[in-house]
Amino acid sequence: MKPLIATKIIRPIYNYYKKLSVNFSILRYQTKGRRPWSTGYNEYKWQSINKYIHDKKIISIFKDNALLPKNYGRGIDERIVEYPWIISNIDLKSGKLLDTGSALNFSDILEHEVFVDKKITIANLNPESRCYWEKEISYIFDDIRSMPFRDGSFDLITCISTLEHVGMDNTTMYTRNTKYKESEKRDYFKVITELKRLLKQNGKLLITVPFGEYQNFGFFQQFDASMIQNIINVFGSTNYSLNYYRYTNQGWQLSNEEESSHEKYFNVHEDKSIPSDMAAAARSVACIKIIK
């Protein structure tokens, strides 16, 4: 059988059974109590993310800082608000984008229209198991506290749930390199200084971090209000905005600093129980947009 013919026959069959498997996993998740991170959770989460990032009404809600629908993202971790918020703050113009921490490195995300004309570089501590070279994505495996790029190299920089891991013990989950077994709680200052250097004048920096009561889990720390202010102060721009999203039993909703400041992170690595509010991870997220 010729390769082209084989591809035309085998690929549809593969895609059919893959979709069937995903649907079965989601059904199992939904019928087994919707326990965070249980079988089917990841498939359900990504199905929901893919739905919402292509929902123009939802993206407009994030863009306008308006109230989310009731039960939005209930039982799903903070990516369900981070990705739509990021996408709502990216325009369709071409430009150079640096993603620090590799949170954009998923086909469902990279195929979104806002990324089509972007020249994207993804920076991470260690190689990804899946790299999208065919989409002309560039990769660099390095410490984001100091990167080998010229000043003003990028029009847009994203830092999605990454800042909280910098200077912490990244050997527990992300790398085997013992040099990253650290406890430098203030090293996020270095990242902000570096990202400011890399950003072009009038460029945009988009940051998300888990927010609430300060907590140190060893491999990451949850940011509190004083740490958010440190980010603003270190960057030194007056052109910025802060948005907060808070998780409750009714799902994710637009919030504010005061309402969110006492929230605690649900760490599934320490607690295997199902939380009463069905939280999967952070119960609040701070979303920071800074223009240089």
Task: Please state the domain extents for the chain.
Answer: 59-291
Strand ranges in the chain using DSSP code E only, listed in sequence order: 95-100, 118-124, 138-141, 154-160, 199-210, 215-216, 221-222, 240-248, 251-255, 284-291
Q: For residue range 265-282, what is the model confidence (pLDDT) as tens digits?
A: 999 888 777 789 999 999
Q: For residue range 21-72, what is the model confidence (pLDDT) as tens digits?
A: 666 677 778 787 778 888 899 999 999 999 999 999 999 999 999 999 999 9
Q: How far is it, in rounded angstroms, from Cα 238 to Cα 290? A: 8
CATH of domain 59-291: 3.40.50.150
β-strand pairing of 284-291 with 199-210: antiparallel
Q: What is the pTM of this model?
A: 0.92
Beta-bridged to residue 136, according to DSSP, are none
